[in-house]
Chains A and B, each alone.
Chain A
Amino acid sequence: MDSRSYPTDQQIWDLAKSQGLDPFAVHCEVVPASVLYEFAAYLIPGRMSHWSYGKAYHAMKTRYDYGLNKLYEMVINADPAYAFLLDSNSDLENTFVRAHVMGHVDFFRHNVHFSQTQRDMLDVVSRHAERVRQYEFEFGKPEVEGLLDAALAIQEHVVPPNPPLTRRERMPAMLRQDPEWSQLWKPETSTRSYEIRPHDRGDRDVLRYIMTFSDQLDDWERDILGMVRDEMLYFWPQMRTKIMNEGWASYWHLRLMRQLHLNDADVVNYARLHASVTAPIPYQLNPYAMGYAIFRDLAERQGDDAIFLARSVDDDVSFIRNYLTESLVADLHLYLYGVDHDQIVVKTRHWEEVRNQLVTSLVHAGIPVIEVEDGDFHRRGELYLIHRHEGIDLDLPYAERTLQHVQTLWGRPVHLETQTGGRHLVLSYDGQTHTKATL
């Protein structure tokens, strides 16, 4: 190896600033693969334990061990931001990765959808992990695991723009409860549901609704639901800006690398790195390639002001809708594929169809919209959910199993109204049996 020196963390940060980026302070840490892959599986270091993260970790680590894919870095949306780099990266690779990180951190700081995220999430998740551990100790591991299984099944059904709940809102039942007085006129908690459960309509924050109004849950269980919800609210903006965020970082790693004085070999190497990061993935979209191409195109056509504006106000849906042009669809070789008579075939390369379908698939981060219709259905405290059908049916076997988890949390029978093949349908689960009824 030659002994030329690469820029320090501070120098790259200064360079990013001079080019117009405005990231938080960034703390870089070099870690071994097992640690980086663990962070990636949990999405953030120090998060609570659950077997599903272990499963993700195992899958990622195995792919890495077999050389199938490689993760170069992981960035945490925090102030100051944290970046974890792989210890087996070369100095050039880590310089490249640092430049990439600057793009991410600038995006976290300035994209409006992140404005409500908790920037101290690293501390928050470790406190969560600590509390969950405490609950495991107090109430038993299987109990905590069962609750987490159920909570994680519906974690995506939160309302993103809300700021995270304060502690006071999170545990209404506990605060409301006055042990001495309540017993005088409320002999059993089970009768309570009758009086207080409102007939709210259209609450999309299913997790919060259950957390607040289920009379099945103990305080510690409500607390865990609240933690799962807080964490999901933190990740939600990342889910809806995946293409933009990776595109912005990829656009800037090139722009920043070009400012460095590198020898020819290094230039070839980083160009190769960029090419491998933006290479097409079979049957999928590469968010790096897509976001990079759009930002570059936009910068060429409309200048820096336009890309900085997009970075600040768009999410993937509006970004694609506004800036994915006909020539970009052609340059990126985008196409649609799908099922035709039990076969998977290429459907079209027509740019508007591709763009529209892409936008559709990104709406609500690709997750079905589920709303609470009634928390006192049948006047028996049953929970009635509605899937707001927008053209695509639910995976019914999955929905049934998810409904079981909902029932675990709600305690009484639960119902989900949806459509399949144009017919209205209600799936119900009462704790023992599933039923299906057409409306």
Chain B
Amino acid sequence: MAGYVPDWTLQRKGSTDQARHQQKIKEALKQQLPDLITEDSIVTANGDRVVRVPIRNLEEYRFRFNPWQADRPAQDQGELKPGDVLGQIPGPTPRGPGQGPGSPGEMPGIDYIEANVSLDDISDLLFEELGLPYLKPKVQSILPQPAFKFRDISKRGLMGNLDKRRSLKENLLRHARQGQPGLGQWNPDDLRFKTWVETTVEDNNAVVIAMRDISGSMGDFKKQTARTFAFWMLRFLRSQYQSVDVVFIVHHTQAREVSQDEFFQLGESGGTKVSSAYELCWDVIQARYPPHRWNIYPMHFSDGDNWSDADNRRTVEYLEAMLPVVNVFGYAEIREGGYTSTLMSAFSKLRHPRFQTVTIGAKQDIYTALKKFFPRTEEG
């Protein structure tokens, strides 16, 4: 073809509409977030686990025949005989992880939509909804440090920033596609360049003081909920701060500092004195985390069955002392019944913007609780 050659790189309707489709998947996932974040296989995985989430809204519905009622004509090389079993019929409503036998991809007519969702995807979606209120610059963040981050790859760039590894791969791929395995002639299209952005690194730190009631009344559901909540809270704070310290405190009538594993596993019997935990918390702050240098997030999980009203009063006193220096103090009451605990009613008299309480009665409430503790605000 001589003469005019159109510039096909300007053609991008496909990618625009593809992006819209991806966005719709994201929206659909967002609606399922309350369930997704409590998915055990996600929370307990090391981060590389992927769950398959069916997305109903994105099927292209139309009037169609029941896909398995009529026999289907097909073609082979003559090897199949009548009666040969080709597979199992896939379930009409696949749900969650773990598909039945047989791979639906090979059979025609089964086109439900599933998204593969990793921990990172869920984190991204969730953290978009969360914010860090009352974040104050702490003394330690003296000057923002400039930094360069190589975080994108493009087809054009300076030769000095050539990404040799990726370029080689493109070359191999292109030739493989043309049926010639191995490295071949270079084409400008193969080259990949690193591009960078300038960022500033804020030097700031946060500490989470996680407290958990391990008295006899805390059952399995409560343990699980505290664990899931703490998981997302830590993950969120770690995504926001350069470094996050965590202090784990458990308590029944007495409080003590424990390791992370102990924190999630311990289950003991005995009564409950919440003030013991708050006292230890206050000590830890004063001794190790001076408030002018640290962003402090104390978080307490309990079922609220405290020892006595006298202890409730002591607890509130400690709380009032701490509130001016912390970023957010969270109290999550995990209970399956519907009544209000004495501790919660003692707390309910306290009105302070940095004190947040929430009652978790079902798994899905974790999502609401996270949003309440870390509300997204204009400046957050």
Contacts and interface: CB of A to CB of B under 8 A. Distances in A.
A51 interface: yes
10 contacts: A38-B11, A49-B20, A50-B17, A282-B74, A283-B108, A338-B70, A392-B70, A395-B65, A398-B59, A398-B64
Contact of B75 (A35, A334, A391): A334
Nearest to B10: A35
Contacts of B84: 345-346
Given A37-B14, A393-B69, A368 B177 contact: no
Given A31-B8, A402-B62, A280 B69 contact: no
B106 A282 contact: yes
A336 B72 contact: yes
A283 B17 contact: no
Given A35-B8, A38-B14, 13 more contacts: A30-B1, A49-B16, A57-B15, A283-B72, A283-B86, A283-B108, A284-B75, A333-B75, A335-B73, A337-B86, A344-B85, A346-B80, A398-B59
A344 B89 contact: yes
Given A42-B13, A153-B60, A344 B82 contact: no
B87 interface: yes
A357 B72 CA distance: 8
Contacts of A55: 17-18, 21, 58
A285 B85 contact: no
Given A283-B74, A335-B80, A154 B18 contact: no
A394 B107 CA distance: 19
A358 B64 contact: no
A398 B88 CA distance: 22
A354 B75 CA distance: 11
B152 interface: no
A34 B14 contact: yes
A187 interface: no
Interface of A: 29-32, 34-35, 37-38, 41-42, 49-55, 57-58, 61, 67, 88, 90, 152-154, 156-157, 280-286, 289-290, 332-339, 342-349, 354, 357-358, 360-361, 366-368, 370, 387, 391-399, 401-402, 404-405
Contacts of B89: 339, 342-344
Contacts, number: 192
B149 to A, nearest CB: 27
Nearest to A152: B60
Contacts of B46: none
A338 B72 contact: yes
* Residue among B1, B62, B82 having the largest count of chain A Cβ atoms under 10 Å: B62
Contact of A398 (B16, B63, B108): B63
Given A32-B8, A286-B75, A336-B73, A394 B68 contact: no
A30 to B, nearest CB: 7
B76 interface: yes
Interface in B334-360: none
A370 B68 contact: no
Nearest to B60: A52
B83 interface: yes
Contact of B78 (A29, A61, A333): A333
User: Size range of the interface on B?
Assistant: 35 or more
Contacts of A367: 63-64
Contact of A357 (B70, B81, B86): B70
A336 B63 contact: no
B74 A284 contact: yes
Contacts of A398: 59, 61-64
Nearest to B174: A88
Contacts of B66: 392-396
Contacts of B74: 282-285, 334-337
B76 A282 contact: yes
B31 interface: no
Contact of A54 (B14, B71, B80, B177): B14
A324 to B, nearest CB: 10
A349 B79 CA distance: 11
A182 B173 CA distance: 66
B62 A156 contact: yes
Given A154-B63, A344-B87, A367-B64, A392 B69 contact: yes
Given A67-B176, A392-B66, A334 B73 contact: yes
A342 B18 CA distance: 36
Contacts of B78: 333
Nearest to A289: B75
Given A153-B62, A282-B106, A405-B61, A345 B85 contact: yes
A434 B68 CA distance: 24
A57 B17 contact: yes
Contacts of A392: 65-66, 69-70
A177 to B, nearest CB: 32
A381 B14 CA distance: 40
